Amino acid sequence: MHFMKVLFYSSKEYELPYLRDVLPPSLDTTFIPELLSAKTAPLCKGYDAISIFTSDDASSEVITLLKKNGIRYISVRAAGYDNVAIQAANRAGIVVGNVPEYSPYAIAEHTVALMLALNRKLIRSHQQVHQHNFTLDHLTGFDLHKKKVGIIGTGRIGSVVAKILHGFGCTLMAYDVNRNQSLEHKYNVFYTSLDTLCSFCDIITIHLPLNEQTRYLINKRLIDQMKRGVMLINTSRGAVIQTKDVLDALPSGQIGYLGLDVYEYEKGVFLYDRSNDKLTDTTLDKLMSYSNVMITPHQAFATEEALSNIAGTTVYNLTSWAAGRISENELTYIEIHSPSESSVTRVTQ
């Protein structure tokens, strides 16, 4: 049997039962709550591998420190890996693997939950009822049926969102660098440019990875083109939208509803109980001051099925490496040069 010592950074109570269920004796594991950073990287000394989550910092500076401390493998317990310098890891000979698909349903269903809760004012309704106010004041919503919904990113999660919203009778528009013909045929998804999608849709939902091309993709220029009162939902990564531009569009009603499961400055805040600390994030305070803004703390993935699949694939990645095999979830950085784009970088699996 091949043994491997693994240090799990950012480990949380909610995931431990799922991991303990599937951890084999060949993995000698330690779980710590600390986020990976340049400061905490030396904690990995003596381990073969580390496992990290979305807010851990695996930038090239940290990769150098991991290499110095003998780390050979990084298993990301998430689908998104924008926090990992894949190119630096590849160069350092550190193998990185993620969990590309654990339950697109979990995130897609949470996306629709945000749409419905915002539209049907469920939080306000619940509060009014608890105050014995059984009127319908301030509770009017709109039918989703026949509304135009724009899906930005029609990969695994965006495709499930399309399927669900087709069931609601929505008209679906999409923007993606790759067209998914099956969505066009099955759900009448109409692919168009980002500008057109933004100008036509009543609801816009984002399902892109965060990378050099998508950072701040949704900014003032596009927000100004959107329909007045648009509903904007982001369950992908916070920095895909320019938060300050979104905030600026709230007082005028240009953005009528905002649903966020991710936030540009969520690191060290989301997933933690900060109720006894004094948070000094005025942007988050401002966002939370609007009744038409709903924020959830990066919880879209948190279903039993997703957590169990994340644990299973993480253990698969680690045991493959422990046995000297390749995991099918390894991430390799490649650079693509095209005539229209001077240099486009991609990470492939």
Instruction: For residue 286, count other CB atoms closer than 10 A to its CB.
Output: 15
Whether 230 contacts 100, CB under 8 Å = no
Check binding of 214 to ligand NAD (CB under 6 A).
yes
Task: Out of 56, 176, 266, 330, name the contact with ligand NAD by CB under 6 A.
Answer: 176
Task: Out of 16, 26, 64, 209, name the contact with ligand NAD by CB under 6 A.
Answer: 209
Q: What is the DSSP string of 166-207?
A: HHTT-EEEEE-SS--HHHHHHH--EE--HHHHHHH-SEEEE-
C-alpha 180/C-alpha 159 separation (Å) is 9
266 is catalytic: yes
Stretch that binds ligand NAD, among 116-124, 150-158, 219-227, 335-343 (CB under 6 A): 150-158
Check binding of 271 to ligand NAD (CB under 6 A).
no
Burial category of 28 from C-beta neighbours within 10 Å (exposed 0-12, middle 13-18, buried 19 and up): middle
Task: Out of 116, 155, 254, 303, name the contact with ligand NAD by CB under 6 A.
Answer: 155
Dump strand ranges (E) for the chain.
Answer: 4-8, 27-31, 49-52, 73-76, 95-97, 148-152, 171-175, 190-191, 203-206, 230-234, 255-260, 293-295, 332-336, 344-348
Check binding of 156 to ligand NAD (CB under 6 A).
yes
Catalytic residue among 77, 237, 264, 330: 237
Burial category of 306 from C-beta neighbours within 10 Å (exposed 0-12, middle 13-18, buried 19 and up): buried
Check binding of 150 to ligand NAD (CB under 6 A).
no
Closest distance to ligand NAD from the beta carbon of 214 (Å): 5
Task: Out of 10, 98, 235, 243, name the contact with ligand NAD by CB under 6 A.
Answer: 235
**Nearer of residues 44 and 210 to ligand NAD, judged by Cβ:** 210
Hey, which residues does 205 pair with through a beta bridge?
A: 151, 233
Closest distance to ligand NAD from the beta carbon of 28 (Å): 28
Check binding of 298 to ligand NAD (CB under 6 A).
yes
**Nearer of residues 107 and 249 to ligand NAD, judged by Cβ:** 107
Stretch that binds ligand NAD, among 7-15, 29-37, 129-137, 297-305 (CB under 6 A): 297-305
> In b/e form, how buried is each residue of 29-41, taking b as 16+ CB within 10 angstroms?
bebeeebbbeebb
Instruction: For residue 208, count other CB atoms closer than 10 A to its CB.
Output: 23
Check binding of 227 to ligand NAD (CB under 6 A).
no
Task: Out of 95, 157, 246, 331, name the contact with ligand NAD by CB under 6 A.
Answer: 157
Check binding of 178 to ligand NAD (CB under 6 A).
yes
Catalytic residue among 298, 304, 337, 341: 298
237 is catalytic: yes
| Phi/psi at 223 (5° precision) | -60, -40
Give the binding site for ligand NAD (CB under 6 A): 79-80, 104, 107, 153-158, 176-178, 207-210, 213-214, 235-237, 261-262, 298, 300-301
Residues with catalytic function: 237, 266, 298
